[in-house]
Amino acid sequence: MSVWVGRGARAADVDVLVVGAGPTGLVLALELVRHGVRCRVIDSEARRPPGSRATDIQSRTLELLEPHGVLPAMVAAGVVVRGFTGWARGRPISQLDFASLEVPYPFTLSLEQEHTEAVLAARLAELGVPVERGVAVDGLLGGTDSVAVRFADGSSGRASYVVGADGVGSRVRQALGVPFRGETYRSPYLVADVHARWSLANDRVHLFVHRDGFFNVLALPGGRSRILCDVPEAPSAPCVDDVRRVLAARTGLDAEIEAASDVRVFRIQRRLAARWRHGRVVLAGDAAHVCSPLLGQGMNFGVHDAVNLAWRLARALRGDGAALDGYVAERRPAASALLWHTDALHRAARLRVGPARLVRDVVSRVVSAVPAARHAAAALCAEMHVSYGPGAARSALVAPRVGPPGVGDRAPLVLTSDGLFPPRAPDGLRLVFGAPAGPGEVGVAAPGAPGSIDARLVQLYRAKAGTRVTVRPDGWIGARER
């Protein structure tokens, strides 16, 4: 595959070509349709890859998916996970509970990626954009007005923009010659979906840390559980007995694994693309960043990329040439922070030296015992902490935000009988608290009747009479007065 730079000679066949039909590409296409953008979604795989792969859909991601009407089907098919428990030497050392978060969906949804993709693709097909499978990009010719695309079957097309959402081995990224900097972790990892008998609560993620490594458990639909653990050497033929041995050695549980499927060994990477944009070609999702799966963040971050990118592409297509600059400026630092904190947890879970493990366990207990720290950790796991304000991505890892939600922060939401409010409007939305609303504005009574939605919004935004908040199309705050 190759890429050239030249000048496009004819009009584009489509506004945006989305390369890759994983969660990032599918959500990007759904968002583009909301913005009235013509798009095409292709994937080189002839059929959707089987297996659960990513399973965690975090609270913030559920909020972002809500406008597309896919949540009822997803929640019905998944498992609601309400918290996290860390274990060492047979005892809990840390607890996180999503119920402490003031959010519409105070839980993580456990659902196999295969099912998530099926629901998203079905909705996209209903909107007239079916996924085209078995279609691979073989070359790109980037021009000033469009991108010429050559496909592996010899055909060609042209798009105003191309988005590479084609995963860790992204052919689009490779064609651009963009370095994917980082590392592959040294130890191999064993993953399996099991049927087990044990006393573990299904509505929590369980992470067992041991001097030999970790053992992570997440409930899946159908009475199964997803197991992830590091192993010193990769078994030549991974099987259920390998999982049983690690379970017995690291957890101390009185448990029995009755059956296992999809037992395999893989390597975990931690990488960040050096550049996310080359002219009219943009990277998103795993094509731009990949991290440890321990916190269940990677797929969610790709969805957030898609939501941030879609409205900017829509504005760029309407002539706002600078709109796409904000995508890279906001999302790449956020991804860099993601890699930092997932790597920190990954290494903490694998500590081998006694004193270091003791310090880790003490810190974990302190975080669980201090309400503010426990709340901040829960917000981090739920991806509520992501902010585009100065230094916010890194500072949110160590302390909750002080002061009212401001520019670059997530816009707080209230779940009403009509859905989430304020809604993610394609052109954005301006809230006016306790003052007459002008054209294009939505009024909120302040202080509002006790127990009302208005009163709740005043509380969440820490607003007063005259406060004005602009909510961007992606659900983050674009401007605030007072």
State how far the Cα of 21 lies from the Cα of 384, in Å rounded to an integer.
Answer: 25
State how far the Cα of 6 lies from the Cα of 149, in Å rounded to an integer.
Answer: 12
Tokens of 396: 């949110």
Mean pLDDT of the chain: 91
Helix (H, G, I), strand (E, B) or coil at 360: helix
Q: Would you state the pLDDT for residue 448?
A: 83
| Residues whose CB falls within 8 Å of the CB of residue 320, separated by 6 or more in sequence, listed in order | none
Q: Would you state the pLDDT for residue 51?
A: 62
pLDDT higher at 53 or 133 = 133
- Other C-beta atoms closer than 10 Å to the C-beta of 172 total 26
Q: Is the pLDDT of residue 338 over 70?
A: yes
Tokens of 339: 């890699």
Q: Domain ranges in the chain?
A: 2-79+107-183+270-336, 189-267, 414-481
Helix (H, G, I), strand (E, B) or coil at 50: coil
Provide long-range contacts, Cβ within 8 A and 24+ apart, for 233-237.
Answer: 233/188, 234/188, 234/265, 235/190, 235/265
- Other C-beta atoms closer than 10 Å to the C-beta of 201 total 13
Q: Is the pLDDT of residue 143 over 90?
A: no
Q: Would you state the pLDDT for residue 482?
A: 86
**Residue 121 near residue 26, CB atoms below 8 Å:** yes
Q: What is the pLDDT of residues 281-316, one digit of tens each?
A: 999 999 999 999 888 899 999 999 999 999 999 999
Q: Would you state the pLDDT for residue 212?
A: 92
Using the structure block, give the residue that is written with the tokens 């294009």.
Answer: 440
What percent of the chain clears pLDDT 90, i.e. is strictly above it?
78
Report the largest interatomic distance among the alpha carbons of the chain, rounded to a whole angstrom.
70
Mean pLDDT for 344-363 is 88
State how far the Cα of 117 lies from the Cα of 86, in Å rounded to an integer.
Answer: 30
Q: What is the pLDDT of residues 159-206, one digit of tens each?
A: 999 999 999 999 999 999 999 999 999 999 999 999 999 999 999 999
State how far the Cα of 211 lies from the Cα of 367, in Å rounded to an integer.
Answer: 21
The two beta strands, 213-220 and 224-230, are antiparallel
In one-letter notation, the amino acid at residue 210 is H
Mean pLDDT for 446-472 is 93
What percent of the chain clears pLDDT 70, i.e. is strictly above it?
94
State how far the Cα of 143 lies from the Cα of 149, in Å rounded to an integer.
Answer: 11
**Residue 290 near residue 299, CB atoms below 8 Å:** no
Q: Would you state the pLDDT for residue 8?
A: 41
Q: Would you state the pLDDT for residue 99?
A: 92
pLDDT band at residue 451 under the 50/70/90 scheme: confident
- β-bridge mates for residue 74, sequence order: none
Q: What is the pLDDT of residues 23-32, one digit of tens each?
A: 999 999 999 9
Mean pLDDT for 210-234 is 93
Q: Is the pLDDT of residue 440 over 90?
A: no
Q: Which of 268, 256, 128, 111 is nearest to 186 (CA)?
A: 268
**Residue 228 near residue 253, CB atoms below 8 Å:** no
Mean pLDDT for 319-348 is 93
Q: Is the pLDDT of residue 3 over 60?
A: no
Tokens of 264: 């395999």
Tokens of 59: 């609270």
pLDDT higher at 131 or 362 = 131
**Residue 42 near residue 286, CB atoms below 8 Å:** no
The two beta strands, 189-197 and 79-81, are unpaired
Q: What is the pLDDT of residues 234-283, one digit of tens each?
A: 998 999 999 999 999 999 999 999 999 889 999 999 999 999 999 999 99
**Residue 4 near residue 148, CB atoms below 8 Å:** no
Helix (H, G, I), strand (E, B) or coil at 81: strand
Q: Is the pLDDT of residue 4 over 90?
A: no
Q: Is the pLDDT of residue 407 over 80?
A: yes
Angstrom CA distances, 57 to 382, 403, 438, stand at: 9, 28, 37
**Residue 473 near residue 311, CB atoms below 8 Å:** yes
* CATH number belonging to domain 189-267: 3.30.70.2450
State how far the Cα of 111 lies from the Cα of 224, in Å rounded to an integer.
Answer: 11
Q: Would you state the pLDDT for residue 84?
A: 95
Mean pLDDT for 98-121 is 95
User: Is 2-79+107-183+270-336 CATH 3.50.50.60?
Assistant: yes
The two beta strands, 256-266 and 189-197, are antiparallel
Q: Would you state the pLDDT for residue 391?
A: 57
Q: Would you state the pLDDT for residue 94?
A: 93
Angstrom CA distances, 413 to 131, 348, 445, 453, stand at: 32, 34, 16, 10
State how far the Cα of 85 lies from the Cα of 64, in Å rounded to an integer.
Answer: 26
The two beta strands, 441-444 and 137-142, are unpaired
| Residues whose CB falls within 8 Å of the CB of residue 76, separated by 6 or more in sequence, listed in order | none
Q: Would you state the pLDDT for residue 10?
A: 53
Q: Would you state the pLDDT for residue 328?
A: 96
pLDDT higher at 455 or 396 = 455
Helix (H), strand (E) at residue 252: none
Residues composing the chain: 482
pLDDT band at residue 378 under the 50/70/90 scheme: very high
DSSP 120-183: HHHHHHHTT---EET--EEEEEE-SS-EEEEETTS-EEEEEEEEE---TT-HHHHHHT--EEEE
Minimum mean pLDDT among 7-11, 110-114, 237-241, 445-449: which range? 7-11
pLDDT band at residue 52 under the 50/70/90 scheme: low
Tokens of 399: 């302390």
**Residue 422 near residue 405, CB atoms below 8 Å:** no
Q: What is the pLDDT of residues 317-327, one digit of tens each?
A: 999 989 999 99
State how far the Cα of 294 lies from the Cα of 304, in Å rounded to an integer.
Answer: 18
